[in-house]
Amino acid sequence: MERTQVAIIGGGPAGLLLAHMLHLDGIDSIVIERQSMAHVLERIRAGVLEEGTVKLLRNVGLGERLDREGLAHDGTVITWQDRPPFLIDTYKFTGRRMMAYGQTAITQDLFAAHTARGGRLVEAASNVRLHDVTSSSPSVTYEVHGEETRIQCDFIAGCDGFHGVSRQSIPADVLRTFERAYPFGWLGIMSETPPLEDIVYAQHERGFALASQRSPILSRYYIQCPNDTNLADWPDERFWAELKARFPRDLADKIVTGPSIEKSIAPLRSFVAEPMRYGRLFLAGDAAHIVPPTGAKGLNLAVSDVFYLHRALDAYYKRGTEKHLEQYSATALRRVWGAERLSWWLTKLLHVFPDHDGFDNKVNQNEFDYLCGSQHAQAALAEQYVGLPFEP
């Protein structure tokens, strides 16, 4: 039997950041992760950080490598068939700066900080289970090498991603879920080649494509693909040819190709579970919500959840007030739904849907024309794309 104040299930970015922020608040926690940390640290995910995320990471002492290696990102380009590039000028409209910095690097930074301060973390934990979450002394049990351990705690943070056990511990008559599955995924590659100058979203009749970046010598590219796509059918040459076919000619010519160092397919899904609290269990990050990657909001949402949750726990331990704990779910969900709407809208605007007809295509085209011609529409998009502020 062990004891901590907050048992954190999941050692991804949400769980590790929460452990870090609670530590700064003087609150003790243990992270319980199902995989080996080597596995967690290798996962490749999106990589665009809102200004609020960048500031928060700096404030908690995690800005050093980010400021050294991250690429300032002041707007994203959209191309539409062969039309000239259109810039979502986030800096002009909001005065705020985003940053391209991979989630893989953030997870590494968080894990390094965790290890450096001697934070407790159990890896390769199986059969993780939550107990007595509606009582004032919940606990978590897990097994390592067949031996069970129980962690007695005050609160449980469910940071265990979409496939985790925490959300499933909330009774079906309490939990409401909202979902949209998309009839396509993203086939992505990483390559050690210099990226295009800007992050570029390409709308094209062959399907959506995205040119992104991780460093001056590391590029990330994606193409929309059917859900039943087989990676083996996509050798690098085929990927590069299809990618280039979806960009206007002059941009396609600027794409530097090379061998891929990673290739994978991600499905697209919108999902929200409400409420994000059940008794002493609080969900954060992908455990509670998924956004399609269009707009790169996933990690930023995990960060805002963790910000609200650490603040609520800090207020509880320092001042005995439960107000923020009670408001956590509603507060976090307001921001979640903002990002859900934006990523759904961008996905709808930029992808080819197998069931769309001529009417849908005309409306989409008009939506884009309106955006290009209206400063108001551009300002509204920029404001959401750069990230809505955290609520006081």
Residues of this chain that interact with ligand APR (CB under 6 A) are: 9-15, 32-35, 40, 45-46, 103, 125, 128, 159-161, 163-165, 285-287, 298-299, 302
Name the CA dihedral angle for 308, 314, 316, 322, rounded to a multiple of 10 degrees.
Answer: -20
**107 vs 100: CA distance, rounded Å:** 15
Residue 97: closest CA among 121, 67, 127: 67
Among 20, 23, 73, 114, the one annotated catalytic: 73
Q: Map the footprint of ligand PHB across residues 206-235, applying CB under 6 A.
A: 212, 220
Give the CB-side neighbour count of residue 220, counting CA atoms within 13 A: 21
Contact between 378 and ligand PHB by CB under 6 A: the answer reads no
243 in Cβ contact with 191 (< 8 Å)? no
Shortest CB 212 distance to ligand PHB, Å = 3
Shorter beta-carbon distance to ligand PHB: residue 10 or 295: 295
Shorter beta-carbon distance to ligand APR: residue 106 or 255: 106
Contact between 296 and ligand PHB by CB under 6 A: the answer reads yes
**Rounded (10°) angle between helices 298-319 and 13-24:** 30
Residue 385 among the catalytic residues: yes
Shortest CB 175 distance to ligand APR, Å = 17
**278 vs 227: CA distance, rounded Å:** 34
Shortest CB 236 distance to ligand APR, Å = 25
DSSP collapsed to 3 states, 238-267: HHHHHHHHCCCHHHHHHCCCCCEEEEEEEE
Shorter beta-carbon distance to ligand PHB: residue 133 or 336: 336
Among 101, 222, 293, 324, the one annotated catalytic: 293
Shortest CB 319 distance to ligand APR, Å = 28
Contact between 276 and ligand PHB by CB under 6 A: the answer reads no
- How many CB atoms within 10 Å of residue 99? 20
Contact between 202 and ligand PHB by CB under 6 A: the answer reads no
28 in Cβ contact with 5 (< 8 Å)? yes
52 in Cβ contact with 300 (< 8 Å)? yes
- 3-state class (DSSP) for residue 370: helix
4 in Cβ contact with 29 (< 8 Å)? yes
Among 204, 244, 289, 297, the one annotated catalytic: 297
**110 vs 142: CA distance, rounded Å:** 23
In the complex, which residue's CB is closest to ligand PHB? Answer: 212
Residue 73 among the catalytic residues: yes
* Residue from 199, 268, 281, 350 in contact with ligand PHB (CB under 6 A): 199
Binds 295, which of ligand PHB, ligand APR, none (CB < 5 to 8 A, cut-off by type)? ligand PHB
Shortest CB 120 distance to ligand PHB, Å = 31
Binds 333, which of ligand APR, ligand PHB, none (CB < 5 to 8 A, cut-off by type)? none
Among 101, 201, 221, 308, the one annotated catalytic: 201
Binds 10, which of ligand APR, ligand PHB, none (CB < 5 to 8 A, cut-off by type)? ligand APR
**116 vs 127: CA distance, rounded Å:** 28
In the chain, count of helices (H) and strands (E)?
Answer: 12, 21
Residue 370 among the catalytic residues: no
Shortest CB 46 distance to ligand PHB, Å = 4
Residue 351, judged by CB atoms within 10 A of its CB (0-12, 13-18, 19+), counts as buried
Q: Which residues are known to be catalytic?
A: 73, 201, 293, 297, 385
- Contacts with ligand PHB, residue ranges (CB under 6 A): 46-48, 199, 212, 220, 293-296
